[in-house]
Amino acid sequence: MATVLIKNLGKYVGEEVTVQGWLYNQRGSGKIKFLIMRDGSGLLQCVIVKQDIGEDVFAKLKTVTQETSMKVTGIVNEEPRATGGYEMQVTGFEIVSIAEEYPITHKEHGVDFLSEHRHLWIRTPRQMAILRVRSEIAHAFREFFYQHDFVLADPPILTPAACEGTSTLFEVDYHGEKAFLSQSGQLYSEANAMALGKIYCFGPTFRAEKSKTRRHLMEFWMVEAEMAYCDMDENINIQEEMVYYVIQRVLNKCGNELKILGRDVEKLKSIQLPFPRISYTEAVEILREAGEDFSWGEDFGAPHETIISNHFGLPVFVHRYPTEIKAFYMKPDPNDPKVVLGADLLAPEGYGEIIGGGQRIDDLALLKQRIQEHNLPLEAFEWYIDLRKYGSVPHSGFGLGLERTVAWLCGIEHIRETIPFPRMLHKMYP
Ligand code: 4AD
Ligand code: MG
């Protein structure tokens, strides 16, 4: 007899199959019981009738508690009213392990309690749905890059220098030397792009953020791409194509999950290409028109980003930020060196910046000058500077934060739910 996943039950209507999982909930009487089983792929209502399976077997059900692990066998029936659309008429079951009294019941719990029990919280339907969407999004990125001839090239996690400023570095002892956890793979990605042309990487990155917001994690996953012979506009083109691809993929593959999450899918469906592109200076005008007292040269805060993206109701690229507020490696605009050829993508519905990217400085002298202006140690960047000595070319790239993208596409309030075990300010357990 086949052991199947709940999400695949549609292929087995009328057949007897086994589902292995955990008891999520139960109700019933002395004659008939309804067990709601979960197996990670979905929920299934299993109907057990005393008369059918016999008194002794039925009596065993008295011992089963929430989260008891068990294998249930039965005939699959269509049942439009049940979650998932199917139901199982049970012919037998095997109890694997009776669970002790489960801390997370079906009543409401506070978020502090749930966070302390994150290892169990992830078993609830909402969390499972978010994590499945996350998985789908990660696959979609990889597929997109594969289809577009990008080579996967992984940068190191332990690094000798800062990429995104020195204020958010996690320091590690590297056999007596100072090392830092990577804030971004970008600098290494530039080297990899000079070797392989178009590359991407996808891995954990670290920021010792001092702020506690619903958008910041200390450890998050970034998808980064770097392309040789690529300018700012070409860089934006590939980003919007990629983001659009991922939205379509989630709409096509994660319908059930989005339903569980109560996501307003119409908002995602209405997104079309191309995304609006405005300069930082135009964005400042939008803020002022909205009544904000904002001076040119300031960085946007979360409320500013929300005003700008609400103005369009679409993902919007903001390009040509003031050179002063951006990283050392960004190429100044030759027509106006006060601004750089960088662009951020702001997600709609107040989800803020999901991509940071731009064209890199390809000139040797200017790069050295910028490293010094940022008070960064030249020695640690010698290898990076080398890239401008040996066949330097115009090149660009970007980094997209996976968790912020998951939060947006799932339509959820807080980034802590977008990764199995979030690392938050002063919170590292479990
Ligand atoms: O804008 P950022 O800092 O850009 C870079 O790191 C570039 N070196 C990337 C590149 O060009 N290769 O970060 C990129 C994205 C942000 O837009 C945001 O989505 C996410 O990473 N991000 C965070 N996500 C969660 N928690 C944090 N603390 C984050 N910091 C950045
Ligand atoms: Mg940024």
Residue 129's pLDDT band, with cuts at 50, 70 and 90, is very high
Q: Does one domain contain both 124 and 77?
A: no
Q: Do 195 and 62 fall within a single domain? A: no
Instruction: Give the position, in ligand 1's atom list, of the atom nearest the Cα of 168.
Output: 28
Structure tokens at 153: 């090239």
The answer on 141 and 74 residing in a single domain is no
Mean pLDDT on 134-145: 98
Residues 6+ apart with CB under 8 A from 258: 129, 133, 250, 251, 265, 410, 411
Any bridge partners for residue 346, and if so which?
Answer: 316, 353
Whether 18 and 157 share a structural domain: no
The last residue of one of the domains, among 64, 97, 130, is: 97
For atom 31 of ligand 1, the residue with the nearest CA is 401
Residues 151 and 85 in one domain: no
pLDDT at 211: 84
106 falls within a domain:
no
Are 35 and 138 in a shared domain? no
CATH code of the domain in which 209 resides: 3.30.930.10
430 within some domain:
no
The pLDDT tens digits of the residues spanning 173-212 come to: 999 999 999 999 999 999 999 999 999 999 999 999 998 8
Domain final residue, candidates 40, 66, 97: 97
Ligand 1, atom 20, residue with closest C-alpha: 401
Question: Can you tell me which residue has the tokens 């997600």?
Answer: 347
Residues flanking ligand 1, CB < 6 Å? 163-164, 184, 186, 207, 209, 216-217, 220, 222, 224, 353-357, 397-399, 401, 403-404
pTM for the full predicted model: 0.97
Please state the φ and ψ torsions of residue 24, each to the nearest 5 degrees: -90, -40
Q: Do 63 and 140 belong to one domain?
A: no
Same domain membership, residue 218 and residue 148: yes
Is the pLDDT score of 128 beyond 90? yes
Number of domains in the chain: 2
**Pair (22, 158) in one structural domain:** no
The mean pLDDT of 80-108, rounded to a whole number, is: 94
Question: pLDDT tens, 234-287?
Answer: 999 999 999 999 999 999 999 999 999 999 999 999 999 999 999 999 999 999
Asked if residue 112 belongs to a domain, the reply is: no
Does 32 reside within a domain? yes
Same domain for 409 and 369: yes
Question: What CATH number did the domain enclosing 61 receive?
Answer: 2.40.50.140
Q: Are residues 47 and 163 in the same domain?
A: no
Quick check: is 319 in a domain?
yes
- Letter for the amino acid at 123? R
Residue 406 near residue 130, CB atoms below 8 Å:
yes
pLDDT at 84: 80
Could you say which of 65, 97, 129 is where a domain stops? 97
Pocket test for ligand 1, best of 404, 408, 423 (most atoms within 8 A of CB): 404
Residue 299: CB atoms within 10 Å: 11
- Cα 260 from Cα 167, distance rounded (Å): 39
Q: Which residue range(s) make up the domain with 153?
A: 118-418
Structural domain includes residue 111:
no
Q: How far is ligand 1, taken at its centre, from the CA of residue 95, in Å? A: 46
Residue 74 inside a domain? The answer is yes
Report how far residue 26's alpha carbon sits from residue 415's, in angstroms, rounded to the nearest whole number.
31
Residues 140 and 181 in one domain: yes
* Residue given tokens 């749930």 in the structure block: 114
**What tens digit of pLDDT does each residue of 288-343 get?**
999 999 999 999 999 999 999 999 999 999 999 999 999 999 999 999 999 999 99
Q: What Å distances lie between residue 408 and 110, 125, 314, 412, 418, CA to CA?
A: 23, 18, 12, 7, 10
Mean pLDDT (the chain) is: 97
Task: State mean pLDDT over 30-46.
Answer: 96
Domain-embedded: residue 133: yes
